[in-house]
Amino acid sequence: MIPERQMLEDLAELRRRDNHRRLILSPGLDFSSNDYLGLSGHPTVRRALIRELEAGVALGSGGSRLLRGNHGWHERIEARLAAFRGVPAALAFNSGFDANVGVLSTLCPPGGLVLSDEKNHASIIDGVRASRAEYRVFPHNDLDAVDRLLRGHAGTLPPTIVTESVFSMEGDRAPLAELLALARRHGAGLIVDEAHATGVFGPTGAGLLDGLETGDVPLVSIHTCGKALGGCGAFVACSQAVKEYLVNHCRTFIFTTALPPLAMVHWEAALDLIASEPWRRRHVLALAERLRTGLRGVADCGASTTQIVPVLLGSNARALAAAAGLQERGFDIRPIRYPTVPQGTARLRIALNATHDEATIERLIAALRELIAATAAA
């Protein structure tokens, strides 16, 4: 264990570099969470939970799914999720992190090759490392680099490409159709983390893979339920063979207490709302576009085309000052710094929510324009 004196020295150094983090309660209007559709407090979800509580649904699962933790609600929701995604099977996990680490470490064996986008989430990076497969990191969304790496692969096992579909800090999208074409051409598999696309994108809200022709490519997608669905946990959408293999070999599934059945009730209510209220995903994307338009010429929002709008400020001090100014004005927007993003690319990460209205976005644009100018002058 690290000596406590060394911990204190490390923390002091983080403060010196404006890189120290602390837990705070949520100040002001939510522009920071991933509750993109505003479902975490939706009355329909609350009523569903109350109804099932009164009917006696278990508050805890009681164990792992392979022991006594497999309940009827797990089986029911996994069938619903497979249909939602349009695949043969789905498997619930306790978090997106658990799902990514578990899927990658189980399905990408030593001796294989994994190609991972440089902007992929920490859970993907950890999963790739845990797999003990050979891996190569390719420049963000660089299809030529992926093609070169696949052409250079001489191993006996099929290679695997892994990417997010919506990148959580950039707010841009992966070229999934083109990656599918490369996987098809080179006989590779594709693993896609749809965490920030699930509920927001696709004809039915099932993510950016929804509607793409994927049938002849070995494909697994990971979807979190703690973002647009407003709950907790995650699920993997896959073939029946992959599901059975994960149940038998995936350590982050086997050796953990299952999510409580009550969480599955939440998922089902959220899926109902995604189906019945498609205006939510249209509205949140329209708000994000208005924000980008309102900041044009004064802020660098990168390549964002989604409900996530980064405002790139460069230095930690500038990001901290801008975030503090926004919080004073009633907007809960947080500074994002290294190691979440590369050194020198500190930013505000603004996450739009379907409960926001146009007038609030106009007030946010005005506040941002003022603070961007003020922090640049400082």
Q: Which residues pair with 166 in a beta bridge?
A: 173
The residue written with tokens 């329909």 in the block is 44
Residue 284 in any domain: the answer is yes
Let me know: does 71 contact 265? Beta carbons within 8 Å. no
Catalytic hit among 34, 165, 304, 316: 34
Question: Where does residue 62 fall: left (phi above 0), alpha (psi -120 to 50 degrees), or beta otherwise?
Answer: left
* Domain boundary, last residue among 251, 276, 301: 276
Let me know: does 137 contact 116? Beta carbons within 8 Å. yes
Residue 48 in any domain: the answer is no
Whether residue 163 is found in the same domain as residue 284 = no
**Is 140 assigned a catalytic role?**
no
**Is 357 assigned a catalytic role?**
no
Measured at the CA of 87, the angle between CA 83 and CA 92, to 5 degrees, comes to 75
Q: Are strands 219-224 and 234-238 parallel, antiparallel or unpaired?
A: antiparallel
Residue 316 in any domain: the answer is yes
Position 27 scores a pLDDT of 82
Q: What's the half-sphere exposure (Cβ side, CA atoms, 13 Å) at 280?
A: 26
End-to-end alpha carbon distance in the chain: 41
Catalytic hit among 71, 119, 121, 243: 121
pLDDT for residue 364 is more than 90: yes
Q: Which residue has the higher pLDDT, 350 or 155?
A: 350
Whether residue 244 is found in the same domain as residue 363 = no
- CB under 8 Å, gap of 24 or more: what pairs does 121-130 form? 121/164, 121/168, 121/193, 121/195, 122/97, 123/96, 123/97, 123/193, 124/100, 124/162, 124/164, 124/193, 126/97, 126/100, 126/101, 127/100, 127/101, 127/102, 127/103, 128/104, 128/162, 130/101, 130/104, 130/105
Catalytic hit among 120, 168, 221, 304: 168
Catalytic hit among 52, 78, 164, 332: 164
Q: Are strands 234-238 and 346-351 parallel, antiparallel or unpaired?
A: unpaired
Position 250 scores a pLDDT of 98
303 confidence band (pLDDT: 50, 70, 90): very high
What are the φ and ψ backbone dihedral angles of 15, each rounded to 5 degrees?
A: -65, -40
pLDDT for residue 45 is more than 90: yes
pLDDT tens track for 277-297: 999 999 999 999 999 999 999
**Is 30 assigned a catalytic role?**
no
pLDDT for residue 263 is more than 90: yes
* Domain boundary, last residue among 224, 251, 276: 276
Whether residue 290 is found in the same domain as residue 253 = no
**Is 168 assigned a catalytic role?**
yes
Whether residue 176 is found in the same domain as residue 236 = yes
Position 353 scores a pLDDT of 96
Can you tell me the mean pLDDT for 327-346? 95
* Axis-axis angle for helices 261-276, 279-295 (nearest 10): 80
Positive or negative torsion for Cα 167, 201, 306, 269: negative
Let me know: does 48 contact 269? Beta carbons within 8 Å. yes
Retrieve residue 116's tokens: 């991972």
pLDDT tens track for 8-37: 999 999 999 999 999 988 889 999 999 999
Residue 97 in any domain: the answer is yes
Retrieve residue 352's tokens: 């739009």
Retrieve residue 66's tokens: 């392979």
Whether residue 246 is found in the same domain as residue 100 = yes
Q: What is the DSSP letter of 173?
A: B
Residue 167 in any domain: the answer is yes
Question: Where does residue 186 fall: left (phi above 0), alpha (psi -120 to 50 degrees), or beta otherwise?
Answer: alpha
pLDDT tens track for 216-259: 899 999 999 999 999 999 999 999 999 999 999 999 999 999 99
Catalytic hit among 119, 223, 227, 283: 227
Residue 113 in any domain: the answer is yes
pLDDT for residue 348 is more than 90: yes
Position 377 scores a pLDDT of 67
* Domain boundary, last residue among 276, 298, 315: 276
pLDDT tens track for 88-120: 999 999 999 999 999 999 999 998 999 999 999
Q: Does the global pTM surpass 0.85? A: yes
Position 24 scores a pLDDT of 86
Let me know: does 80 contact 271? Beta carbons within 8 Å. yes
Retrieve residue 23's tokens: 């837990």
Whether residue 264 is found in the same domain as residue 131 = yes
Domain harbouring 341, CATH code = 3.90.1150.10
Amino acid letter at 181? A
Instruction: Give the Cα separation of 132 and 126 in Å (integer).
Output: 10
Residue 8 in any domain: the answer is no
Percent of residues, the chain, with pLDDT higher than 90: 94
How many structural domains is the chain composed of?
2
- Residue 358 is part of which domain span? 26-40+278-377
Whether residue 270 is found in the same domain as residue 290 = no
Q: What is the DSSP letter of 55?
A: T
Instruction: Give the Cα separation of 193 and 123 in Å (integer).
Output: 10
Residue 359 vs residues 121, 331, 362, 366: alpha-carbon distances, Å: 33, 13, 5, 11
pLDDT tens track for 61-89: 999 999 999 999 999 999 999 999 999 99
pLDDT tens track for 180-208: 999 999 999 999 999 999 999 999 999 99
173 confidence band (pLDDT: 50, 70, 90): very high
Whether residue 283 is found in the same domain as residue 271 = no
Whether residue 86 is found in the same domain as residue 169 = yes
**Is 71 assigned a catalytic role?**
no
Q: What is the DSSP letter of 166?
A: B
What are the φ and ψ backbone dihedral angles of 178, each rounded to 5 degrees?
A: -70, -35
Position 378 scores a pLDDT of 61
Residue 233 in any domain: the answer is yes
Whether residue 100 is found in the same domain as residue 241 = yes
Let me know: does 9 contact 226? Beta carbons within 8 Å. no
Catalytic hit among 196, 243, 266, 356: 196
Instruction: Give the Cα separation of 345 and 61 in Å (integer).
Output: 42
Whether residue 76 is found in the same domain as residue 180 = yes
Whether residue 266 is found in the same domain as residue 119 = yes
